[in-house]
Amino acid sequence: MADLMENEVLRAFATYAAIVIVKMMLMGPITAYFRVTRGAFAHEEDVARKSAEEKKKLLRTDPEVERVRRCHLNDLENIVPFVVVGLLYALTRPELSTALLHFRIFAGTRIVHTIAYILVLPHFCRGLPYILGMLVTLSMVYRVLSTALIL
Amino acid sequence: MADLMENEVLRAFATYAAIVIVKMMLMGPITAYFRVTRGAFAHEEDVARKSAEEKKKLLRTDPEVERVRRCHLNDLENIVPFVVVGLLYALTRPELSTALLHFRIFAGTRIVHTIAYILVLPHFCRGLPYILGMLVTLSMVYRVLSTALIL
Amino acid sequence: MADLMENEVLRAFATYAAIVIVKMMLMGPITAYFRVTRGAFAHEEDVARKSAEEKKKLLRTDPEVERVRRCHLNDLENIVPFVVVGLLYALTRPELSTALLHFRIFAGTRIVHTIAYILVLPHFCRGLPYILGMLVTLSMVYRVLSTALIL
């Protein structure tokens, strides 16, 4: 397999794939932060040092923690399709500028989506980036299928 | 990296990976459809325009919505292994016909699985495709490990 | 695309990707095992043959089943970044020994993480592998970005 360095579209894909994956990974520590500050844990062993009474209070679900967890799941549901389709798309030899346009818009939508989700901004601040990101992935799907189709 | 177009197995993989990924992405709009028609939302901002009384009624979990969400999660749990292992499998230069057999069966099982899940068909209509899809992925894992193994 | 067999780092990646993906796939049958032994099902059709009274008792959430499901989700949240970044990392032509170090530590952390999660070991038995696995992925992200960066 040739060197990643030789193909500029693949390098651009690697850059943006790394960015959105790191953004997704950040949701783990953010969930932990909300669990600690809101005092809402999911497992007995996470509050092992507390008194029995405190444990009862700490082992609960919290709406804000659940919000962050749903945001994380939404990332999985959308970023996984992007990285899978994006890699195949990069292998179809698109123009670098066209590819960059796809990758940049997608990364932008996911960052806006996360901010809107966590800061509880009005629905469309989360809904529009969600739909736009999906359209970017579908545009790459179209290119992959029209280039590669073997059924 | 060579052109995607030159390798028929990789083209077949790209085709079926795109199909199952698009099927998985469809679960997002389907969830939204169930949320709207069943009147069951997860976030305050999604019902911002409603009266306080309506909000209370709309911010709830609904068994049908949760069913679609579990189906979506099941897709993630099974389609992600397929696309990861499938790509590596395609790089081991299998026969095109053998590869197509794997890809077609897997895509078929996931489509049947989703229909059975959402239409609440008897358990085995969902269970058999689940197991069969898993066996397809494991068969590709076997090929990858027997070809590539470096521990 | 060149043969998978010709690139040792890619073969090592394929090996460890297959291992962690199979580990993740195992969570499905483990969830089923807990559902059956704890008598806690999520769907009407999964308990179709039982009497009406039994159904009521069996359609419930169980803390142990939910624990296994959270472990499965945690796998998705961490193994997906590893396989995506790991593939791109393998394409940057790292030293085989360095790559193997990354892959081995990551696979080890996820196996320890799962055991600690399911056997309800003290929090740090699950927390430390989680953080260590994340650092391995971030180390590969650093290599990918410093080799491939095109913004």
- Structural domains of chain B in order of their starting residue, each with its CATH number: 4-21+61-148 (1.20.120.550)
Sequence-distant (6+) residues with CB within 8 A of C29 are none
- The pLDDT score that the predictor gives to residue B2 is 53
What integer best gives the mean pLDDT of chain B? 93
What's the confidence (pLDDT) of residue C70?
Answer: 95
pLDDT at A79: 97
Given a contact cutoff of 8 angstroms between Cβ atoms, the answer to whether C18 and B144 are in contact is yes
Cβ distance of A84 and B24 shorter than 8 Å:
no
Residue of B nearest to C20 (CA): B81
**Is B148 touching C (CB cutoff 8 A)?**
yes
- Residue of chain C whose Cα is closest to the Cα of A86: C84
Whether A1 has a pLDDT exceeding 50, the answer reads: no
pLDDT at C56: 85
Tens-digit pLDDT string for chain C (151 aa): 456 778 899 999 999 999 999 999 999 999 999 999 999 999 888 888 888 888 888 988 899 999 999 999 999 999 999 999 999 999 999 999 999 999 999 999 999 999 999 999 999 999 999 999 999 999 999 999 999 888 8
In this structure, of A108-122, B29-43, B107-121, C46-60, the range with the lowest mean pLDDT score is C46-60
Residue C1 has a pLDDT of 47
For Cα atoms A99, A101, A102, give the angle at the middle one, nearest 5 degrees: 65
DSSP string across A92-146: T---HHHHHHHHHHHHHHHHHHHHHHHTT--HHHHHHHHHHHHHHHHHHHHHHHH
B73 touches chain A (CB under 8 A): yes
* pLDDT given for residue B48 in this prediction: 86
Report the percent of chain B where pLDDT is more than 90. Answer: 77
Check residue A139 and give its pLDDT.
Answer: 98
Predicted-complex ipTM score: 0.93
CB contact A1 to B (< 8 Å): yes
Residues of A in contact with B22 (CB under 8 A): 138, 141
* pLDDT confidence band for B1 (50 / 70 / 90): very low
Q: For residue A11, what is the nearest residue in chain C, using CA coordinates?
A: C148
Chain B residues with beta carbon closer than 8 angstroms to that of C2: 2
Question: Do the Cβ atoms of A80 and A68 come closer than 8 Å?
Answer: no
CB contact under 8 A, A21 and C85: yes
CB contact under 8 A, A141 and B21: yes
Q: pLDDT per residue over B57-82, tens digit each?
A: 898 889 999 999 999 999 999 999 99
B30 lies within 8 A of chain C by CB: no
Nearest-CA residue of chain B relative to C70? B73
Radius of gyration of chain A from its Cα atoms, rounded to whole angstroms: 20
Digit-coded pLDDT (tens) for A11-44: 999 999 999 999 999 999 999 999 999 999 998 8
Residue B73 tokens read as 């999660």
Which range has the worst mean pLDDT, A121-125, B44-48, C26-30, C128-132? B44-48
Neighbours of chain B (3+ CB pairs under 8 A): A, C
Q: What is the pLDDT of residue C2?
A: 53
Rounded to an integer, the average pLDDT of A78-97 is 96
Average pLDDT, chain A: 93
